Structure formats: structure tokens, C-alpha cells
Homo-oligomer: A and B are copies of this chain.
Amino acid sequence: MMLRDMGGADLVSQGMDSIVTHANVKPPIQHGGDPKAAEARFGVPKDGWLDLSTGINPVAYPLGAVPQKRFARLPLKSECDAILEAARRAYSVPEKAAIVASPGTQALIQMVPTLFAPSSVSIMGPTYGEHAPAWTAAGHELEDVGSICAQAAQPAPFGVVVHPNNPDGRTQTVEGLLAFAEELHGRGGILVVDEAFADVTPDLSVTPHAGDDGLVVLRSFGKFFGLAGVRLGFAVTTFEIAEQLEEKLGPWAVSGPALWAGEQALRDPDWIATTRVRLQADAARLDALLQRSGLDIVGGTDLFRLAQSPKAQDIYQQLGRAGILVRPFAYRPDWLRFGLPGCEEDWVRLENALRS
């Protein structure tokens, strides 16, 4: 993974390919979250970068010092059991479902397609850019579709829905997702529901209903808890698929510090509840700020907002010159995705940069 070019001298292309409609284009898949890559274009901002190019909560779960033994020794079975138990409670995973932990959801996104013989997959797009190449790499044909209904009409036995969707925030009903999973199971396939941003909409989550054949739900720890660097994600699915994923992941796949951080955060319902309220308020505040600046809000979740403007490219440049990085989209040059500012200073900075 390390040599992969995740930056690039041209900022206009940086981030542009991360969310794709025709995803059988070869990598590099570009991502937000690395403003250093933008320095080739905009230089080093005098106040440092304000990175609003991701959907990661800017107010991280407060961690103390990692106990030394979590670095030193291999993770214990008891520690692995504990994180799964904590995740089961936090995500309301039912008894009938199995849960697997991984070093980030990305590993699961890449692994799930390799569990099945090459076939075809429909991906509800536009969406997060890593799903399509993972299925392609495993030999599956891609069918890009614009809605879950169009998806069900396709003959593909495999399906991917990001829920709520990134970047537009589209959601589905639990009933619709479960019915679609059952349909795909009948075709010999599965439905992958990537709930990377579902922490802010728990009532819409399909996770509490997982465990039946044909459904794999992915949960990302790092985004809602603001701890993307720890690398921790989960798959909630059948025991059979879980066992295959565990085999592929192998022993000690998740680091000691990740297990330690994850257990604390997932076992803190007060912080989770408070954070949901705060993110909702901040998302509303961001909408108001962007609307005052002439952008239309066209979607998003409480962790990011999708804005539209005929001047989006100019605004992107203007913000970049002010040291603020947001996410552009090659296929929709009128769209910009904004993450939430994390402190008052950053709110003011964004407001000023949009005004100037």
C-alpha cells in the first residue's frame, strides 16, 4: 500500500477520482485527507491546512496514553473478544449475526469480493471510489446504477450500497435493503451495505437486522469517533462469511492500540449520544454558512455536507489558496463536499475564506 501514489502535483485532480461513476478506470484512486499533497499547488498555508476534505469527525474521542503493553505484546484473545462485544453493543448487532474486526473497513472492502467466484456486481453510484476497483480486481463485472431499484432490475447477483451514501447522503429503508439482500441471496450472491457513516443515523441502520444469508454490513470505527488513524472496522454478517473473512485476515490483524482505543470509545454511550447531537447541530450550522455563501445544499450526512454551485471550481480554488481543503468531484464539477470544522477558529476561518 505504501508506494501507492495518494498525492500528486496537480491538486485539481487530487480527490477528483475518489468518487466515480465509471469505476473500472484503473487506479490511482484519489482520496481526501492528505492536504500535504495540495502543497505543490497552493504552497504551505501560513496558518496550516484546515482539512475539510474528509467526512471524519474533527472532534476525536478523547484518549489517554496508550498502555505500554498494548504496544509491546501481541493482542490477546480476551482483548479481541472485548472489542467484538463492545462493537456488538454499540452497533446493536443481533445474536444471529457474526462480527469480525479488521484494520480498517478498507481491508474488508477489498476482501469481500475475493470470497466469491468472479461474477457481476451492481454498485449504486456515484459513491465511494474503493468498492468498484475491489470487485474488478477480484474478477467481477461492474454494473453502475443510479438507484437501488435500478440495481434490483440488474441481473448481477452481487450488489453494493453505501448507506447513507457518500457523497450525497441518500438513505434506504431497512426493509428495502433486507429485501434486496434476500433477492441477491436467491441469485447466489450477496449485498454489501457499507455503513461507514451510519453512526449518525442509527435508526436507519440495517446492522441490527444483519445475520441472515446474503447480507454483509461494513462499519467504520474511525469516522464517527474521529480516530481514522487507528485503523479499525467491522463486518457484520453470517457466521459462514465471517469465518472466511477471519481466515483471510489471519491472527493479530488489528493492532493493540486500535483494540484499546476502540473498546473505550465503543463502550461510551454518553459520548456517542452527545456527539450525535453536536454533529447534527454542526451540520445545520455548516448548511447555513454555505447557503449564506451562495451554495445550495444537495445532500450529505451529519459528518459531511454536499454543496452545489455553478462557481464550485472557483470556490475550491479560493478555499485552497486560503489553506482550506474541500473535496471536488470530476464527474460533477458543480459539487463540493465539506467536512465539519472542529473548533470556533476553524468555523471563522471557513466563513472568512468563503466571504473573501
Minimum distance in angstroms from A244 CB to a CB of chain B? 10
Q: Which of B1, B73, B222 contacts A56 (CB 8 A)?
A: B73
Pairs across A and B, CB under 8 Å, 25 listed: A1-B80, A1-B100, A1-B246, A1-B250, A2-B84, A2-B100, A27-B247, A31-B74, A33-B73, A34-B77, A37-B77, A54-B73, A65-B65, A66-B257, A71-B230, A73-B228, A106-B252, A107-B250, A107-B253, A130-B251, A134-B250, A137-B247, A231-B254, A231-B255, A255-B258
Contact, CB under 8 Å: B71 / A103: no
Known: A31-B74, A230-B255. 11 other contacts (CB 8 A): A1-B80, A1-B101, A1-B246, A2-B81, A3-B246, A69-B229, A72-B227, A73-B228, A103-B103, A110-B248, A230-B256
Minimum distance in angstroms from A220 CB to a CB of chain B? 11
Residues of B within 8 A of A99 (CB): 2
Interface string of A286-297 (1 = CB under 8 A from B): 000000000000
Residues of B within 8 A of A229 (CB): 69-75, 255-257
A78 at the A/B interface (Cβ < 8 Å)?
yes
Minimum distance in angstroms from A342 CB to a CB of chain B? 10
A90 at the A/B interface (Cβ < 8 Å)?
no
Residues of B within 8 A of A102 (CB): 1
Contact, CB under 8 Å: B63 / A71: yes
Minimum distance in angstroms from A55 CB to a CB of chain B? 11
Contact, CB under 8 Å: A106 / B36: no
Minimum distance in angstroms from A79 CB to a CB of chain B? 9
User: For window 238-270 of chain A, which residues contact chain B by CB distance below 8 Å?
Assistant: 242-243, 246-258, 261
A60 at the A/B interface (Cβ < 8 Å)?
yes
A104 at the A/B interface (Cβ < 8 Å)?
yes
Residues of B within 8 A of A37 (CB): 77
User: For window 1-50 of chain A, which residues contact chain B by CB distance below 8 Å?
Assistant: 1-7, 27, 29, 31, 33-34, 36-37
A281 at the A/B interface (Cβ < 8 Å)?
no
- Complex-state Cα separation, A297 to B106, whole angstroms: 45
- Complex-state Cα separation, A33 to B80, whole angstroms: 14
- Complex-state Cα separation, A226 to B70, whole angstroms: 11
A51 at the A/B interface (Cβ < 8 Å)?
yes
A228-B76 contact given A1-B252, A101-B1, CB 8 Å threshold: no
Contact, CB under 8 Å: A74 / B228: yes
Return the 8 tightest CB-CB contacts between A and B, nearest first. A229-B256, A1-B249, A231-B255, A1-B253, A33-B74, A60-B72, A2-B80, A7-B77
Residues of B within 8 A of A36 (CB): 76-78
Closest-by-CB residue of B relative to A110 is: B250
Residues of B within 8 A of A70 (CB): 229
